[in-house]
Amino acid sequence: MKDHPPMNGAESVVRSLHAAGVDVCFANPGTSEMQFVDALDRTGLMRCVLGLFEGVVTGAADGYARMANVPAATLLHLAPGLSNASANMHNARKARSPMLNLVGDHAVRHRGYDAPLTSDVAGAAAPFSDWIKTATSPETFAQDAMEGLAAAMARPNGVATLIAPADIGWDAGGVVAPPPPPPEFAALDENAVTEAAGKLDAQTVLLAGGTVLEHPGALALLHGIAEKTGAKVLAPTSNRRCERGAGRAAINKVPYPINMALETLAPFKRAILIETVPPVAFFAYPGKPSLLLPAECEVMTLAGLDGDGPAAIEALADCVGASQRIAPAVLPPSPMAGAITPATIAAAIANALPENAIVVDESITGGRDMWGATQAAAPHSWISLTGGAIGDGIPMALGAAVACPDRPVVSLQADGSAMYTIQGLWSQAREQANITTVIFANRTYEILKTELFAVGANPGRSALDMLDLDRPNLDFVALARGMGVPAQRIEDAAALQRAIEDAVLEPGPSLIEAMM
């Protein structure tokens, strides 16, 4: 019988992760990760997806986790590669998406020589990670990975980064580690349920986020509570995922613009939080508060970020005698032939969405009408930018498609933020992912123009030149085709709806540049 070579550290990690349910690795590896490349190839236990930029890798892992409810692994190269990945680690952390990053480092014996890529990997990881550890031996490497996986999956989920010196991965002595125990919710406080029930009236807002938005039954119960008591229901501005569409209870969000947010929340004297925190403005503005609830508003938490929001809502509904409520929603009419505007593009997409689609929303300013218009669209999942670091949409769509290959993905993508991770289109083509990307081509950073005026500026030509995407105009049809994605340019709203309806039926990725 042929003897097998002893297991090295990298193989023990791959085998342990697979046994714990992690079977996808999004990767942009370098020399210090070659032992993982070899282990992934030899074991064949994980699907490996290459990103041409590290921000694509972590953005895809974010989208995958939001739809699969388990983390993918990422494979990154030293501190510079990790730094390239950090913006979408930030978005994942704000979304509370579970993520486990494996980041290669120089071999222990090589660190002292200040090689060109020597740097502080842990320091680069710290601002964007909830858990960081550096492996110290092949024998304990897999156990370290299981600790990281447990940290990523612990309520309310987090970003874990395991630093892997090259020699710890290639040296023999690896030992497969058992999977971590399943995460637990924080216990529901029955007294908090009774207290919350006593506060429900027309001057109370129920702010619900987290897993509540992923459970249509919980949302319907929340609306039943509101109907029974007169309270209002809102979601945070940014959320990890929401299950919505025809036959499901719709929920409005706290608006992004500061004045609209303050106006929306001004009537409330009490706020009850369910898997969320008190809403805060995205930025400070002259003469405006940072906290969006009125200063005199009484705030209580029914279920924290680590709690079971749907269970808390069920208990509250029992306490007040409420049942599920789904208000009818009306689909906007299909747009007539004419210009593509925020209103007509929203109507086109609402009518074109297929059943069971996954919508990835990074449409920014051009998509301002999208949330309301799609409330009565075919049932779908909605995932969107959470941390404000633009460039998440294209890679998130890739990750969502990998997680749910049987579901069409419709990616709503602003043109400016698309350029941050445009390389993700190449990965979509390589994986033949079922993604229809709609580029909202207004050729400007419109959101930044709004912010410029919000701080009281009176911009001149130099300021506006930093916010316009012209001279030359971006050609997304050429960019997409150059990376293997079929593409077309549409200038008519009615034609846009037809193009989306056709594209979602075709296998593989496609791109539509909608000229606004």
446 or 363, greater pLDDT: 363
Q: Is the pLDDT of residue 496 over 90?
A: yes
Q: Is the pLDDT of residue 12 over 90?
A: yes
Q: What confidence tens digit (pLDDT) does each residue in 225-239 have?
A: 999 999 999 999 999
Report pTM. 0.95
Q: What confidence tens digit (pLDDT) does each residue in 366-391 have?
A: 899 999 999 999 999 999 999 999 99
Nearest to 97 by CA among 135, 143, 129: 129
Residue 1, pLDDT score: 44
Q: What confidence tens digit (pLDDT) does each residue in 273-332 have?
A: 999 999 999 999 999 999 999 999 999 999 999 999 999 999 999 999 999 999 999 999
Q: What is the mean pLDDT of residues 408-424?
A: 97
CB 371 within 8 A of CB 22: no
Q: How far is CA 511 from CA 363, 410, 422, 515, in A?
A: 14, 10, 12, 13
Q: What confidence tens digit (pLDDT) does each residue in 51-91 have?
A: 999 999 999 999 999 999 999 999 999 999 999 999 999 99
Classify residue 114 as exposed, middle or buried by CB count within 10 Å of its CB (0-12, 13-18, 19+).
exposed
CB 65 within 8 A of CB 72: yes
Nearest to 377 by CA among 397, 354, 361: 354
User: In a 3-state reduction of DSSP, which class is residue 176?
Assistant: coil
* Neighbour-count burial for 89-111, b at 16+ CB within 10 Å, e otherwise: bbbbbbbbbbbbbbbbbbebeee
Q: Is the pLDDT of residue 451 over 80?
A: no
Please give the mean pLDDT across all residues of the chain: 95
Residue 453, pLDDT score: 66
Q: Is the pLDDT of residue 448 over 90?
A: no
DSSP secondary structure letter of residue 58: H
Q: Is the pLDDT of residue 466 over 50?
A: yes
